[in-house]
Amino acid sequence: MSSAKIYVTRQLPEAALSLLNGCGELRVWEPDEVIPRDVLLREVQEIDALLCMVTERIDEELLAQAHRLRIVANMAVGYDNVEVPALTRRGIVLTNTPGVLTETTADLVFTLILGCARRIGEAERIVREGRWRSWSPFAFLGRDVHHATLGILGLGRIDMEVAKRAKGFDMRVLYANRGRNREAEEKLGCVPVDFPTLLRESDFVTVLVPLTSDTRHLLSTPQFKLMKPTAFLINAARGPIVDQRALYEALRDGLIAGAALDVTDPEPIPQDDPLLTLDNCLILPHIGSASIATRTRMATLAAENIAAFLSGNRPPTPVNPEVLNQDA
Ligand code: DGY
């Protein structure tokens, strides 16, 4: 399919773009900003393949314009920005980028754990704003991470890497998941518990589950009430998994000690969001996978999915493989 038209919604590392260049006619949204919706709706009308980011909504409205579209490669492991059944119904393949960002994201989760426990955001602000007067025995006292209890909601690939890191910090690791993860139990000593027990016993609760209708506001006031007042919540999954208003109240009222968020609802978080007034909430701009090597691997894997598909091969990481099986 050498006449294939490919559209990419963001500038990408050269390795990914040159791979796509060899597969057909490539167009890229050049500005370093999210592609405006009306531009995307126009661009999809003539294309066969779309490489997009989590910032693009791939829904019925868009698909109704995209008469030639055969493959959408989402440059992310999560794909809650895509209406998967709508693609599948039309026989359009969706691919994501699992595996390549696992360790980098686990590093960031651990950064969040350490960052909120040791009040890094607050402390850095004091220095930067010229408000640091002297060393003091009581300044910026935080909580120890070593030997604390980590509670992991879920226990997927990234969580396994988080648990591995926790082991290095002599942490006790609990997990609450639909099924048992024997490997995590045997190799890493993770202990299966139910959701309320995990909330009650953990010093740090991390959540890395996908965003679905079941996990939206999985953490809200009733869950915060179960947590220790000295505990911290870490969210590096998707913003809407945490009820952000309830989190604000829990942090303000001391139901829990702090939170560290790599994701918010919405993104970017509005400047007047009350969470931004709290010192016990560390907030990052969705950078879980943001290392040079990992973003290059993600872009390349997304491009490889398109390249394989357009040359008649099976894309390496399909989300809805049933579409490919239909074609076979
Ligand atoms: C993912 O891969 O789902 C991330 O959240 C995007 O970096």
The residue contributing the CA closest to ligand 1 atom 4 is 76
Average pLDDT on 316-323 reads: 98
Average pLDDT on 1-18 reads: 91
117 pLDDT above the threshold of 80: yes
**Of 70, 119, 238, 297, catalytic:** 238
Q: How far apart are CA 28 and CA 11, in angstroms?
A: 7
Query: Residue 28 Cα, ligand 1 centroid: separation in angstroms?
Result: 20
CA angle 310, 311, 315 (to 5 degrees): 70
**Of 10, 286, 295, 297, catalytic:** 286
CB distance 236 to ligand 1 below 6 Å: no
Q: Would you call 217 a catalytic residue per the annotation?
A: no
SS3 category, 307: helix
107 pLDDT above the threshold of 80: yes
SS3 category, 69: coil
DSSP per-residue string spanning 7-67: EESS---HHHHHHHHTTSEEEE--SSSPPPHHHHHHHGGG-SEEEE-TTS-B-HHHHHH-T
The pLDDT of residue 325 is 81
Domain ranges of the chain: 5-98+292-327, 102-283
Evaluate whether 205 touches 231 at the Cβ level (below 8 Å): yes
Evaluate whether 201 touches 149 at the Cβ level (below 8 Å): yes
Burial class (CB in 10 A: 0-12, 13-18, 19+), 192: middle
User: What is the number of the ligand 1 atom nearest to the C-alpha of 290?
Assistant: 7
327 pLDDT above the threshold of 70: no
CB distance 74 to ligand 1 below 6 Å: no
168 pLDDT above the threshold of 60: yes
Q: Which of 34, 54, 284 to mutate to test the pocket of ligand 1 (most atoms within 8 A of CB)?
A: 54
Query: Residue 164 Cα, ligand 1 centroid: separation in angstroms?
Result: 21
Q: Would you call 267 a catalytic residue per the annotation?
A: yes
The pLDDT of residue 3 is 86
Query: Residue 9 Cα, ligand 1 centroid: separation in angstroms?
Result: 15
For the chain, give the mean pLDDT. Answer: 97
CB distance 208 to ligand 1 below 6 Å: no
**Superfamily of structural domain 102-283:** NAD(P)-binding Rossmann-like Domain (3.40.50.720)
User: What is the number of the ligand 1 atom nearest to the C-alpha of 237?
Assistant: 5
Q: How far apart are CA 201 and CA 196, in angstroms?
A: 9
Q: How far apart are CA 301 and CA 73, in angstroms?
A: 9
Please report which confidence band the pLDDT of residue 104 belongs to, taking 50, 70 and 90 as the band edges: very high
CATH architecture of 5-98+292-327: 3-Layer(aba) Sandwich (3.40)
CB distance 77 to ligand 1 below 6 Å: yes
Query: Residue 161 Cα, ligand 1 centroid: separation in angstroms?
Result: 16
CB distance 288 to ligand 1 below 6 Å: yes
Query: Residue 53 Cα, ligand 1 centroid: separation in angstroms?
Result: 9
DSSP per-residue string spanning 222-277: HHHHHS-TT-EEEE-S-GGGB-HHHHHHHHHTTSSSEEEES--SSSSPPTT-GGGG
Query: Residue 294 Cα, ligand 1 centroid: separation in angstroms?
Result: 11
pLDDT in tens, 44-60: 999 999 999 999 999 99
2 pLDDT above the threshold of 60: no
User: What is the number of the ligand 1 atom nearest to the C-alpha of 53?
Assistant: 6
Evaluate whether 202 touches 193 at the Cβ level (below 8 Å): no
- Whether 5-98+292-327 and 102-283 share one fold: the answer is yes
The residue contributing the CA closest to ligand 1 atom 6 is 76
326 pLDDT above the threshold of 90: no
